[in-house]
Chain A
Amino acid sequence: MSPKPLDYESLNENVKKVAYAVRGELYLRASELQKEGKKIIFTNVGNPHALGQKPLTFPRQVVALCQAPFLLDDPHVGILFPADAIARAKHYLSLTSGGLGAYSDSRGLPGIRKEVAEFIERRDGYPSDPELIYLTDGASKGVMQILNTVIRNEKDGILVPVPQYPLYSAAISLFGGSLVPYYLEEEANWGLDINHLRQSVAAARMKGITVRAMVIINPGNPTGQCLSEANLNGLLKFCFQENLVLLADEVYQQNIYQDERPFISARKILLDMGPPMSKEVQLVSFHTVSKGYWGECGQRGGYFEMTNIPAKTVDEIYKVASVSLSPNVPGQIFMGLMVNPLKPGDISYLRFVAESTAILESLKRRAHIMTDGFNSCRNVVCNFTEGAMYSFPQIRLPPRAIEAAKSAGKAPDVFYCLKLLEATGISTVPGSGFGQKEGVFHLRTTILPAEEDMPAIMTSFKKFNDEFMEQYEDYRGYSRM
């Protein structure tokens, strides 16, 4: 029998090292149960439309018209589409050379990159160069591209928050680099302590690791915290001192549920600092159409903006982008629509604002419902979801539960989440998928289930949890770090 060309053993080791829990064991088990007929509530991924959130009307009208430009010539088109959608479709089609079906510039359509630059300028108060903005098939592809550019070998380290969105750990594994963790402080509302950063860097360097970049996720995923101006200031200075490129994942910038810490972009803080730092600190900022109140995950629309990256490096990044030819054009148009919103007076403006506001206000209410709901459960402590789309409660598992997990061959939080799934149909992601301190357990859920379903979901969770705790608790109480 001839040798098998592709056995597990002969796969790229880096591929084998990759773990991505968001669609890992819990999700696969939930899908199995769903096939068997069980009702599953998927809260494993930030996927708003899958949980009933409706798409905003205006962008869908515009993109539909762009897909079928012959509609624009039809005399009846005005019956189905408002005039501003028609005008906007014509605008975006004019930015293409050949409509939606032609590869665009590998960086994305220049006209849309210009709209992104204008958005950034309005938001931050500083001009942005469209030549340094690259549209991508979702922010994830952009993150992967940049990490692949930075990581040369296993001696290159990337500072990543713990807990983190596991795209980062997966990408670092895939590209053969080293993840250098910096722990967020759960007791300080998932705050970032520069001292801890310094310690992480020092420890990495002692092991011979060259720390090259720092990732921040602001607002945080899974933790939801919004970084303060002082925080951003401090970490930018840190990057300046330690010569790190800052990778600022800002995909949740529209999802803010408190007033104390509004979103401020890393770029704004950097430019506020003035020279030399504003001219030297290297920064790449990421954004997407998948989150916010748009939630258009399936379109795969995103961008990254480069600050202080040398021209030759930009050329190399361009070169790699060109190998994939171009990002998908409809996704680019969604991005254009997101950064270039309707204005008061536009026909569709009021409806657009009503739809957007309803979504954001509901998300805020759901953030509270979930946080409060978790905090009412036995042995569960949950920081408030200040931003993003997730809740990351700490589950204080009793020692006997941890033992039971061990006997079942599962990590304790995986054990808990599987039991939760079997009992209630709620599909979460165990905290180990995101990283957590040794012996401290969490799960990540989204705040995305429909508002009217929330009370029932939280009741169901509480019932399961409190029964679980009763089953596994002994007189010594709960387990804690």
Chain B
Amino acid sequence: MRRFATERAKRLLFGSLLASRSPPSAFLCSSPPAAAAMDPAAGVVTVDTINPKVLKCEYAVRGEIVSHAQRLQQELQDKPGSHPFDEILYCNIGNPQSLGQQPVTFFREVLALCDHPSLLDKSETHALFSADAIARAWQILDVIPGRATGAYSHSQGIKGLRDAIAAGIADRDGFPANPDDIFLTDGASPAVHMMMQLLIRSEKDGILCPIPQYPLYSASIALHGGSLVPYYLDESTGWGLEISELKKQLEDARSKGITVRALVVINPGNPTGQVLAEENQREIVNFCKNEGLVLLADEVYQENIYVDDKKFNSFKKITRSMGYIDDEIPLVSFQSVSKGYYGECGKRGGYMEVTGFNAQVREQIYKVASVNLCSNISGQILASLVMNPPKVGDESYESFNADKNGILSSLARRAKALEDAFNSLEGVSCNKAEGAMYLFPRLRLPQKAIAAAKAVNAAPDAFYARRLLDATGIVVVPGSGFGQVPGTWHVRCTILPQEDKIPAIISRLKAFHEAFMEEFRD
């Protein structure tokens, strides 16, 4: 305190000396500073004085292992040959186009025309763009006042685009959707944040989240000062979601004085990849209804399904097919342009469909959305395209369908190849990736390895992941970043490296794992 007082006195003295030297101004009064209450906490913004919720929040997907990988990448650039691998393979993040996946041509044609609408007034444009892309661009620009793609839109997003998205949802589900229920956002993540902000009043408010989960949820809950109430997915049954587990965790939380407000379901799952069965979904809906929970349905991987015996059903469809009408089930469904076969992560496009909330609450959601004015227009346009792709008979349909199927079938093959590879490793078991973009193999590490990890203050899966990176250049995220049953270890690996790289990845992985297990054999 005394040191601070001296420091502050110095500042005051120095400041007033300067003040007396500065030129006179009509708007500046250089009288000596008034003595104000001294507060040691009023300070320079340091890690000790920032919002503790910021400190609490964690996000492993771009965490420590990635920083280390970036350092190695720099070293490779500065000194080629300095590591036993030629390149870093980022398998930590669902970022398809950074690993060579090509964007859907039709979507990009439309976006380019909307970015530069004066192209549409030139006859030469027909030589470079397909006719239906031109037609779609016209359609879209017609619903944007003044064709002004550079203007802030309605805070929920452009009405005409929401109409199109609602139509796309209705097409998908067989049940109608209301454009006024849709809030277009810069990716699905901001929409998740908005809901957490709305729902969480204090640390006594809990949100049920699957374990393992995509750490946006844990991070967002921490940032908003709430409590994460975990429910464990069952690895032995393909990451099954048991209502009995939901009930158990809910009651447990309530007995600790937590008001559980919502249930997060990620379908298809991340990192786990499971696709929920319809019956399971119905149980979940009833559970939410009976317990008074908001259902937060993260459905961003709805177009990434790799198995024939499972189908994506939106929770919206499920509730309506069960006969529930709008205001009976508060349900927020999240969708994004970042995943699927389009993989347009960098565009930041997405939406939430908000149903079952009364008008007063919806006003509050609108109000929060309005502070940021609107999401980026190009992302809004892309969301409307993703929900309304070319149809049979459209000029671009053939090539579009080829793009789409090419990507999806390749993803399915890569999912299988990597799943088999992990399962072939000693002590490793890996559930099938029914959907999404990830594998989440379980590692049964020898005691010696666990001890070695402890010795360097690392979680065993982080230790393994680091060793894997140093030996092969492959970047995966330790399972602790997603949550797991205590005492079990996993890593999350994406299925996204290009198909021609997969054999090399698999052989390097196998070689590393064999050597690792040898080194730490009990």
Which of A5, A7, A175, A309 is packed against the most chain B CB atoms within 10 Å? A5
> A313: CB under 8 A from chain B?
yes
Is B47 a contact of A313 with CB atoms below 8 Å? yes
Residues of chain A with a CB closer than 8 A to B368's CB: 15, 18, 174
> B294: CB under 8 A from chain A?
yes
> A481: CB under 8 A from chain B?
no
Question: Scoring A residues 54 to 92 as 1 if CB is less than 8 Å from chain B, else 0, what string do you get?
Answer: 010100110111011111001011011000000000000
Residues of chain B with a CB closer than 8 A to A19's CB: 367
Is B372 a contact of A245 with CB atoms below 8 Å? no
Of B28, B127, B146, B330, the contact of A50 (CB 8 Å cutoff):
B146
Q: How near does chain B come to A193, taking the closest CB pair, in angstroms?
A: 6
Within 8 A of B (CB), among A268-287: 273, 276, 280, 282
CA distance A325 to B345 in the complex (A): 9
Residues of chain B with a CB closer than 8 A to A201's CB: 36
Which of A19, A20, A295 is packed against the most chain B CB atoms within 10 Å? A20
Of B33, B98, B151, the contact of A103 (CB 8 Å cutoff):
B98
CA distance A351 to B201 in the complex (A): 54
Of B14, B34, B62, the contact of A198 (CB 8 Å cutoff):
B34
Determine the residue in chain A with the shortest Cβ distance to B103: A101
Which of the 9-residue segments B38-46, B165-173, B457-465, B512-520 touches chain A? Answer: B38-46
Residues of chain B with a CB closer than 8 A to A74's CB: 128
CA distance A153 to B116 in the complex (A): 46
Is B372 a contact of A12 with CB atoms below 8 Å? no
Is A300 a contact of B370 with CB atoms below 8 Å? no
Q: How near does chain A come to B196, taking the closest CB pair, in angstroms?
A: 9
> B12: CB under 8 A from chain A?
yes
Of B115, B189, B330, B343, the contact of A5 (CB 8 Å cutoff):
B330
Is B148 a contact of A49 with CB atoms below 8 Å? yes
Of A2, A240, A276, the contact of B289 (CB 8 Å cutoff):
A2
> A340: CB under 8 A from chain B?
no
CA distance A403 to B364 in the complex (A): 30
Determine the residue in chain A with the shortest Cβ distance to B327: A4
Is B14 a contact of A148 with CB atoms below 8 Å? no
Is B51 a contact of A319 with CB atoms below 8 Å? no
Question: Scoring B residues 23 to 63 as 1 if CB is less than 8 Å from chain A, else 0, what string do you get?
Answer: 10111111101101101011111110111101101110111
Question: Scoring A residues 28 to 58 as 1 if CB is less than 8 Å from chain B, else 0, what string do you get?
Answer: 0000000000000000010111101001010
Of B29, B33, B43, B118, the contact of A241 (CB 8 Å cutoff):
B33
Is B357 a contact of A320 with CB atoms below 8 Å? no
Is B37 a contact of A206 with CB atoms below 8 Å? yes
Which of the 9-residue segments A135-143, A436-444, A460-468 touches chain B? Answer: A135-143
> A347: CB under 8 A from chain B?
no
Contact A11 B361, CB 8 Å, known A68-B108, A241-B15: yes
Contact A234 B25, CB 8 Å, known A102-B97, A319-B57: yes
CA distance A120 to B448 in the complex (A): 54
> A354: CB under 8 A from chain B?
no
CA distance A270 to B380 in the complex (A): 40
Is B294 a contact of A6 with CB atoms below 8 Å? yes
Is A101 a contact of B361 with CB atoms below 8 Å? no
CA distance A68 to B115 in the complex (A): 11
> A111: CB under 8 A from chain B?
no
> B452: CB under 8 A from chain A?
no
Within 8 A of B (CB), among A98-123: 98-104, 106
Is B290 a contact of A2 with CB atoms below 8 Å? yes
Is B153 a contact of A298 with CB atoms below 8 Å? yes
Residues of chain A with a CB closer than 8 A to B63's CB: 322
CA distance A77 to B262 in the complex (A): 52
Residues of chain A with a CB closer than 8 A to B58's CB: 319
Is B50 a contact of A316 with CB atoms below 8 Å? yes
> A194: CB under 8 A from chain B?
yes
Residues of chain A with a CB closer than 8 A to B186's CB: 137, 300, 328
Is A8 a contact of B360 with CB atoms below 8 Å? yes
Determine the residue in chain B with the shortest Cβ distance to A192: B27
Is B119 a contact of A324 with CB atoms below 8 Å? no
Within 8 A of B (CB), among A170-187: 170-171, 174-175, 185
Residues of chain B with a CB closer than 8 A to A185's CB: 27
Is B25 a contact of A70 with CB atoms below 8 Å? no
Is B128 a contact of A71 with CB atoms below 8 Å? yes
How many chain A residues touch B (CB < 8 A): the figure is 125
Is B376 a contact of A298 with CB atoms below 8 Å? yes
Is A330 a contact of B347 with CB atoms below 8 Å? yes
> A406: CB under 8 A from chain B?
no
Which of B47, B49, B115, B347 is packed against the most chain A CB atoms within 10 Å? B115
Is A63 a contact of B115 with CB atoms below 8 Å? yes
Secondary structure type dominating chain A contacts: helix
Contact A296 B357, CB 8 Å, known A23-B370, A193-B27, A328-B379: no
> A205: CB under 8 A from chain B?
yes
Q: How near does chain B come to A357, taking the closest CB pair, in angstroms?
A: 19
Which of B12, B51, B187, B223 is packed against the most chain A CB atoms within 10 Å? B51
Is A242 a contact of B36 with CB atoms below 8 Å? yes
Is B371 a contact of A228 with CB atoms below 8 Å? no
Q: How near does chain A come to B263, taking the closest CB pair, in angstroms?
A: 10
Q: How near does chain A come to B377, taking the closest CB pair, in angstroms?
A: 4
Is A15 a contact of B198 with CB atoms below 8 Å? yes
Residues of chain B with a CB closer than 8 A to A323's CB: 57, 59, 189, 216, 219-220, 223
Is B346 a contact of A322 with CB atoms below 8 Å? no
> B100: CB under 8 A from chain A?
yes
Determine the residue in chain B with the shortest Cβ distance to A185: B27
Residues of chain A with a CB closer than 8 A to B267's CB: none
Determine the residue in chain B with the shortest Cβ distance to A96: B346
Which of A76, A100, A195, A295 is packed against the most chain B CB atoms within 10 Å? A100
Residues of chain B with a CB closer than 8 A to A338's CB: none
Is A61 a contact of B116 with CB atoms below 8 Å? yes
Is A322 a contact of B61 with CB atoms below 8 Å? yes
Of A8, A65, A324, the contact of B358 (CB 8 Å cutoff):
A8
CA distance A201 to B26 in the complex (A): 21
Q: How near does chain A come to B130, taking the closest CB pair, in angstroms?
A: 11
> B18: CB under 8 A from chain A?
yes
CA distance A254 to B326 in the complex (A): 48
Determine the residue in chain B with the shortest Cβ distance to A155: B41
> B305: CB under 8 A from chain A?
no
CA distance A206 to B338 in the complex (A): 50
Is A100 a contact of B347 with CB atoms below 8 Å? yes
> B177: CB under 8 A from chain A?
no
Determine the residue in chain B with the shortest Cβ distance to A68: B112
> B200: CB under 8 A from chain A?
yes
Within 8 A of B (CB), among A448-469: none
> B491: CB under 8 A from chain A?
no
CA distance A245 to B189 in the complex (A): 29
Is B187 a contact of A325 with CB atoms below 8 Å? yes
Of B119, B224, B346, the contact of A101 (CB 8 Å cutoff):
B346
> A329: CB under 8 A from chain B?
yes
CA distance A387 to B368 in the complex (A): 28
CA distance A350 to B308 in the complex (A): 59
CA distance A48 to B100 in the complex (A): 38
> A343: CB under 8 A from chain B?
no
Of B27, B155, B361, the contact of A231 (CB 8 Å cutoff):
B27
Question: Scoring A residues 412 to 444 as 1 if CB is less than 8 Å from chain B, else 0, what string do you get?
Answer: 000000000000000000000000000000000
B-side residues, CB < 8 A to A, are 8, 11-12, 14-16, 18-19, 22-23, 25-31, 33-34, 36-37, 39, 41-47, 49-52, 54-55, 57-59, 61-63, 93, 95-101, 103, 105, 108-109, 111-113, 115-116, 118-119, 122, 124-125, 127-128, 145-146, 148-153, 155, 186-187, 189-190, 197-201, 216, 219-220, 223-224, 261-262, 288-294, 330, 338, 343-348, 357-358, 360-361, 364, 367-368, 370-379
Closest 10 CB pairs of A and B: A329-B346, A298-B377, A102-B98, A64-B116, A230-B25, A50-B151, A328-B348, A68-B112, A101-B97, A191-B27
Enumerate 16 A-B pairs (CB-CB under 8 Å) in ascending A order: A13-B201, A18-B367, A19-B367, A49-B146, A49-B150, A61-B116, A67-B378, A97-B98, A98-B95, A101-B344, A205-B37, A205-B39, A241-B15, A243-B11, A316-B50, A323-B220
Known: A76-B127, A185-B27, A297-B373. 5 other contacts (CB 8 A): A6-B198, A103-B98, A138-B373, A326-B348, A329-B346
